[in-house]
């Protein structure tokens, strides 16, 4: 049956008749699926389809060069590659019809999929985003001491994106085992090559990235296969990455709604005469490899199998409506889909033997074990910064899956010296100095996480996270919901003001990301939680944003907690009990609210929220039922700050318990100024909190 699963094969020789037949079947199947999907869209039984007509040979040939354990990072026109790696037509149609039995269960469309055993990483739509993930996957393969190669695709238009350049630079700098395939279709939607790039060929860029660049005729399957096979061999033996430019022509529009009128008719005729499917059929006949094969009969058999797959897929059930509301985070008790799709594109977590081997290998790279810093004694007085550093060092020593990435974190120890000494202690495979490229940092972190490691990335300042917004919101945050693959990563974000750092070094970005499903957000305000929340974040199966308060780094002191201390994510802390009002805050707000209450002498309960997502409604509700008044204070800007969400929830759910309107205190809706007095004027200070509490209590 054409829809029966078939695992990826090892690359073969074009002199081998069985392997040639293997390629021929896939290239014919890819074209036949194209024809059927186009008809499905016209008939209104399939919502959309992105054609790869003209790319079939290149897609099949490149993927066929991979070995079974190599990793494929496809794009939306990589139909042939999906077939080679093990997806059957039935899988393709289940996904296309958005059926519950499909890999994404109707939560995503197109070829954004990866069935168990295929070693395919499910893609997202923003182009270039998966190329940075490929870099992280390749790093993981090397760190796990495998010889795995990662193959990632991009179109000619996608090579204009900044994130693609970040990816290629990162891959080149670290000589990662990645083969990047550019499918040069000559049109990026409706924009021709000469308006996309000024270099003579895209392969020429390889030299600039420090890798081999190869240009091939994408309509000639044997030529593409040999180029890809050699590139995979080079990467596997440690000779570095390769950039392959496969020149072909997209013979249909961007999608089926696009009539492609922008392409000159003569150009379509020229490339139509070089149809890659018919060209390979002719090559097979001329080569004499398959003298007894009836190609016409093979086409008929494939067409019949595809029609059967279509009919079978159409009969399958649509996803239950309720299923769309769950599955954003791990261990969702309401999600009926903790089923085989989970982990389908991730490597299994390293087993005990692998962990021991990694630990031994990591120890071998340590330059001078005598320079390893001591972790402070339990109970000794440490700073907030030392709490973070101690947790990182303890986890790095006890879990070889832990890897640190960021700008200047190794040689310098980071902008705030939190990782100082860790490069010498843990080696360059675990403490990774990256280029100045925030998108590459997050993309690589995603790749490491979905291959079973536990990466912790650092932004020098939280403000810079805007440069990689897409990688967090569209990529890391959607993985589990779309395809069931967790992304257990941590992003450390030095956040907040109070230090006169100005408009580009004082951001509190929690509200941005609270609006993005799939990301957890924590903000420690004590030494104990600086250690414990980071420990919890490093244990969590989902991506966690860890917002460190720069103002507290060296000012706040407390006792060193136990080595195994963990602060649960999603649980608020009652800092001070009271009866007359409740104030909810987090970060540096805890210190200011505590001072304001002490100076005012009022009986106010102070709650440190600690976790923005998920947040502890129960603790707040219990407090408000006791006090009947609620204020929310945060340093982030007022409009659409997370305090607005708390206030709106309280107005809806706690209305009968409230004796006064909910009071909000936050920074003004302006960039944080550099002058310290201006900074104080635009952000809530102790005096502002005292006044607000007085107004609330006197209402």
Could you tell me the pLDDT band of residue 109, with boundaries at 50, 70 and 90? confident
d(CA 674, CA 497): 10
Looking at 18-22, 112-116, 293-297, 335-339, which range is the least confident one?
Answer: 335-339
User: Which are the contacts of 688, defined by CB distance < 8 A and separation ≥ 6?
Assistant: 665
Q: Convert the pLDDT of each residue in 380-414 to its tens digit.
A: 999 999 999 999 999 999 999 999 999 999 999 99
Nearest in space to 27 (alpha carbons), one of 58, 72, 5, 1 = 58
Could you tell me the pLDDT band of residue 268, with boundaries at 50, 70 and 90? confident
* H-helix segments, 333-381: 352-365
SS3 state of residue 558: strand
pLDDT at 4 over 70: no
How confident is the model over 124-138, as a mean pLDDT? 90
pLDDT at 49 over 50: yes
Looking at 36-45, 356-365, 587-596, 662-671, which range is the least confident one?
Answer: 356-365
The residue among 249 and 244 whose pLDDT is bigger is 244
Q: What sign results for the dihedral spanned by CA atoms 606, 607, 608, 613?
A: negative
Looking at 30-39, 235-244, 346-355, 434-443, which range is the least confident one?
Answer: 346-355
* DSSP E strand stretches across 259-372: none
Cis peptide before 614 (omega within 30 of 0): yes
Nearest in space to 216 (alpha carbons), one of 67, 62, 74 = 62
pLDDT at 353 over 80: no
CB 517 within 8 Å of CB 478: yes
* DSSP E strand stretches across 32-143: 71-73
d(CA 108, CA 131): 20
At residue 259, the pLDDT reads 81
Please state the φ and ψ torsions of residue 454, each to the nearest 5 degrees: -130, 75
* H-helix segments, 462-542: 469-470, 479-483, 510-514, 527-539
Percentage of the chain lying above the pLDDT 90 cut: 77
pLDDT at 27 over 90: yes
How confident is the model over 454-476, as a mean pLDDT? 94
Please state the φ and ψ torsions of residue 147, each to the nearest 5 degrees: -100, 25
pLDDT at 348 over 60: no
- From residue 119, alpha-carbon distances to 129, 168, 354, 378, 648 in Å are 18, 22, 20, 44, 44
Q: Convert the pLDDT of each residue in 589-643 to its tens digit.
A: 999 999 999 999 999 999 999 999 999 999 999 999 999 999 999 999 999 999 9
- From residue 418, alpha-carbon distances to 193, 212, 362, 385, 662 in Å are 46, 37, 20, 7, 38
SS3 state of residue 168: helix
Could you tell me the pLDDT band of residue 341, with boundaries at 50, 70 and 90? very low
CB 317 within 8 Å of CB 99: yes
Please state the φ and ψ torsions of residue 387, each to the nearest 5 degrees: -65, -45
At residue 72, the pLDDT reads 95
pLDDT at 344 over 60: no
Task: Show which residues are catalytic.
Answer: 505
Element of type H or E holding 589: helix 589-600
DSSP of 260-295, one letter per residue?
A: -TTS-HHHHHHHHTT-HHHHHHHHHHHHTS-TT--H
pLDDT at 346 over 60: no
Nearest in space to 537 (alpha carbons), one of 454, 470, 433 = 454
Q: Which fold has domain 17-319?
A: Rossmann fold (3.40.50)
Q: Convert the pLDDT of each residue in 669-681 to its tens digit.
A: 999 999 999 999 9
The residue among 114 and 326 whose pLDDT is bigger is 326
Q: Convert the pLDDT of each residue in 507-548 to its tens digit.
A: 999 999 999 999 999 999 999 999 999 999 999 999 999 999
User: Which are the contacts of 6, defined by CB distance < 8 A and separation ≥ 6?
Assistant: 86, 88
Please state the φ and ψ torsions of residue 278, each to the nearest 5 degrees: -65, -30
d(CA 431, CA 407): 10
| C-alpha dihedral, 31 to 75 to 114 to 79, nearest 10° | 0
CB 192 within 8 Å of CB 226: no
Could you tell me the pLDDT band of residue 38, with boundaries at 50, 70 and 90? confident
User: Which are the contacts of 458, defined by CB distance < 8 A and separation ≥ 6?
Assistant: 404, 405, 406, 407, 409, 414, 418, 419, 491, 492
pLDDT at 349 over 60: no
- How many other C-beta atoms lie within 10 A of the C-beta of residue 696? 22
Looking at 369-373, 380-384, 574-578, which range is the least confident one?
Answer: 369-373
Please state the φ and ψ torsions of residue 663, each to the nearest 5 degrees: -100, 130
d(CA 208, CA 35): 40
- How many other C-beta atoms lie within 10 A of the C-beta of residue 625? 13
pLDDT at 3 over 50: no
Highest mean pLDDT among 146-160, 360-374, 655-669: 655-669
| Structural domain boundaries in the chain | 17-319, 352-559, 573-698
At residue 25, the pLDDT reads 96
Looking at the DSSP bridge assignments, the partners of residue 467 are: none
Q: Which fold has domain 352-559?
A: Rossmann fold (3.40.50)
At residue 360, the pLDDT reads 60
Looking at 137-151, 370-384, 534-548, 660-674, which range is the least confident one?
Answer: 370-384
Give the number of residues written for the chain: 699
Q: What sign results for the dihedral spanned by CA atoms 514, 516, 520, 522?
A: negative
130 alpha-carbon distance from chain centroid: 8
d(CA 478, CA 518): 6
Highest mean pLDDT among 319-328, 351-360, 367-376: 319-328
User: Which are the contacts of 437, defined by CB distance < 8 A and separation ≥ 6?
Assistant: 166, 169, 170
d(CA 170, CA 152): 14
Question: What per-residue string of b and e applies to 330-349 under the rule 16 or more CB within 10 Å gives b?
Answer: eeeeebebeeebbbbbbbee
At residue 677, the pLDDT reads 95
Average pLDDT across the chain, whole number: 91
SS3 state of residue 197: coil
At residue 116, the pLDDT reads 64
How confident is the model over 365-376, as a mean pLDDT? 69
Q: Do domains 17-319 and 352-559 have the same CATH topology?
A: yes
pLDDT at 683 over 90: yes
pLDDT at 581 over 80: yes
CB 90 within 8 Å of CB 115: no
At residue 696, the pLDDT reads 97
Nearest in space to 626 (alpha carbons), one of 604, 646, 611, 610 = 604
573-698 CATH choice from 3.40.50.150, 1.20.1640.10, 3.40.50.920, 3.30.413.10: 3.40.50.920
d(CA 33, CA 642): 48
Provide the whole-model pTM. Answer: 0.93
CB 626 within 8 Å of CB 664: no
């Amino acid at each position: 049956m054409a829809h029966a699963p078939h695992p990826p094969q090892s690359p073969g020789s074009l002199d081998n008749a069985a392997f040639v037949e293997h390629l021929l079947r896939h290239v014919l199947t890819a074209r036949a699926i194209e024809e059927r999907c186009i008809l499905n869209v016209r008939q209104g039984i399939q919502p959309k389809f992105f054609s790869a007509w003209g790319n079939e040979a290149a897609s099949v040939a490149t993927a066929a060069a991979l070995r079974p354990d190599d990793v494929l990072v496809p794009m939306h026109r990589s139909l042939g590659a999906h077939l080679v790696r093990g997806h059957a037509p039935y899988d393709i149609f289940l996904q296309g019809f958005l059926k519950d039995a499909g890999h994404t269960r109707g939560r995503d469309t197109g070829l954004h999929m990866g069935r168990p055993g295929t070693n395919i990483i499910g893609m997202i739509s923003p182009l270039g985003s998966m190329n940075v993930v490929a870099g992280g996957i390749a790093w993981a393969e090397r760190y796990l001491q495998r010889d795995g190669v990662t193959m990632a695709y991009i179109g000619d238009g996608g090579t204009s994106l900044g994130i693609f350049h970040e990816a290629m630079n990162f891959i080149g700098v670290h000589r990662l085992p990645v083969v990047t395939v550019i499918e040069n279709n000559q049109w990026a939607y409706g924009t021709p090559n000469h308006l996309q790039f000024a270099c003579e060929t895209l392969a020429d860029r390889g030299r600039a990235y420090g890798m081999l660049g190869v240009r091939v005729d994408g309509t000639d399957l044997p030529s593409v296969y040999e180029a890809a096979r050699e590139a995979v061999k080079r990467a596997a033996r440690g000779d570095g990455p390769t950039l392959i430019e496969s020149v072909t022509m997209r013979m249909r529009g961007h999608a089926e709604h696009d009539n492609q009128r922008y392409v000159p008719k003569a150009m379509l005729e020229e490339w139509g005469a070089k149809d890659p499917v018919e060209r390979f059929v002719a090559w097979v006949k001329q080569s004499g490899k398959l003298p007894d094969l009836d190609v016409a009969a093979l086409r008929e058999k494939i067409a019949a199998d595809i029609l059967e797959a279509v009919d079978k897929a159409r009969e399958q059930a649509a996803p239950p409506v309720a299923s769309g509301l769950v599955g954003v985070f791990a261990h969702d008790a309401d999600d009926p889909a903790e089923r085989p799709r989970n982990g389908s594109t991730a490597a299994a977590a390293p087993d005990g033997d692998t962990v021991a081997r990694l630990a031994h290998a990591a120890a071998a790279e340590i330059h001078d074990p005598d320079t390893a810093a001591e972790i402070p004694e339990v109970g000794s007085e440490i700073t907030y910064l030392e709490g973070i550093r101690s947790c990182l060092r303890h986890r790095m020593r006890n879990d070889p899956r832990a890897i640190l990435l960021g700008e200047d974190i190794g040689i310098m120890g980071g902008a705030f010296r939190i990782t100082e000494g860790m490069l010498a202690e843990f080696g360059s495979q675990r403490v990774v100095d990256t280029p100045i490229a925030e998108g590459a940092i997050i993309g690589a972190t995603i790749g490491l996480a979905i291959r079973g490691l536990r990466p912790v990335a650092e932004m020098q300042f939280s403000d810079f996270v805007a440069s990689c917004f897409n990688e967090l919101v569209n990529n890391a945050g959607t993985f589990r919901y779309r395809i069931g693959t967790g992304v257990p990563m941590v992003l450390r974000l030095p956040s907040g003001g109070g230090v006169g750092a100005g408009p580009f070094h004082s951001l509190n970005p929690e509200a941005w990301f609270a609006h993005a499903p799939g990301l957890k957000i924590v903000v420690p305000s004590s030494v104990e939680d600086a250690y414990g929340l980071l420990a919890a974040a490093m244990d969590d199966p989902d991506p966690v944003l860890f917002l460190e308060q720069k103002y507290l780094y060296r000012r706040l002191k407390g006792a060193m907690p136990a080595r195994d201390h963990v602060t649960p994510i999603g649980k608020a802390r009652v800092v001070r009990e009271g009866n007359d009002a409740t104030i909810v805050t987090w970060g540096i707000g805890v210190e200011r609210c505590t001072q304001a209450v002490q100076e005012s002498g009022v009986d106010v309960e102070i709650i440190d929220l600690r976790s923005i997502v998920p947040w502890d409604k129960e603790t707040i509700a219990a407090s408000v039922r006791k006090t009947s008044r609620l204020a929310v204070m945060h340093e982030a800007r007022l409009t659409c700050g997370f305090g607005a969400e708390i206030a709106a929830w309280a107005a809806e759910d706690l209305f009968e318990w409230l004796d006064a309107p909910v009071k909000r205190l936050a920074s003004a809706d302006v960039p944080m100024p550099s002058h310290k007095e201006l900074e104080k004027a635009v952000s809530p200070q102790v005096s502002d909190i005292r006044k607000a509490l007085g107004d609330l209590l006197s209402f």
